[in-house]
């Protein structure tokens, strides 16, 4: 019985911590840039770089291809995986400069969300507000596709 109670308490604590991470995303906004880049942005992985052990799922490649279409917007968006703290990233753009975005569900979902909302005509500020509200969490990576040209 003690073991069961201990497991229930542990499970509730884990759920509480996970929900706290996303309960009020806007209260502590990660790093982002308030304006478009003034110069060239760092290289985003693309083409043949989207192969190998970090790109074993099609949605990883698609997320990077979407990101490559909106780099200036990514530059103006925060990343809620908190890579600004852990890795020194200065925006969502940083996540796609290397393989970090391919192994992080939050980065991929935010990247896809940013691409989709940009294609719908939303401004970087409007997209940022949606990210802060957690709207990116609704993205289903398993079903994403690139639109036909």
Cα–Cα distance for residue pair 138/135, rounded to 1 Å: 6
The encoded tokens of residue 83 equal 């890579």
Q: Is the pLDDT of residue 50 over 50?
A: yes
Query: Quick check: 133 pLDDT over 60?
Result: yes
Q: How far is it, in rounded angstroms, from Cα 84 to Cα 61?
A: 23
Convert the pLDDT of each residue in 68-80 to its tens digit.
Answer: 999 999 999 999 8
Q: Residue 1, SS3?
A: coil
| pLDDT for 57 | 96
Range with the lowest mean pLDDT among 17-21, 37-41, 44-48, 73-77?
17-21
Assign residue 41 a region (left: φ > 0; alpha: ψ between -120 and 50; beta: otherwise). beta
- The domain spans of the chain are 28-143
Q: Which residue has the higher pLDDT, 67 or 10?
A: 67
What's the maximum distance between 2 C-alpha atoms anywhere in the chain? Answer: 63
> What is the C-alpha to C-alpha distance for residues 113 and 110, in angstroms, rounded to an integer?
5
């Amino acid at each position: 019985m003690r073991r069961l109670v201990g497991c229930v308490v542990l499970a509730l604590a884990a759920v509480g911590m996970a929900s706290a991470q996303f309960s009020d995303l806007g209260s502590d906004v990660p790093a982002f840039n308030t304006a478009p880049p003034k110069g060239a942005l760092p290289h985003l992985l693309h083409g043949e770089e989207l192969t190998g052990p970090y790109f074993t799922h099609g949605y990883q490649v698609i997320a990077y291809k979407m990101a490559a279409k909106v780099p200036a917007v990514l530059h103006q968006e925060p990343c809620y995986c908190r890579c600004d703290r852990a890795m020194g990233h200065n925006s969502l753009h940083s996540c796609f400069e290397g393989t970090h975005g391919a192994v992080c569900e939050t980065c991929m979902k935010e990247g896809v969300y940013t691409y989709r909302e940009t294609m719908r005509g939303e401004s970087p500020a409007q997209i940022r507000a949606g990210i802060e509200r957690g709207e990116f969490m609704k993205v289903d990576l398993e079903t994403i596709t690139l639109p036909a040209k």
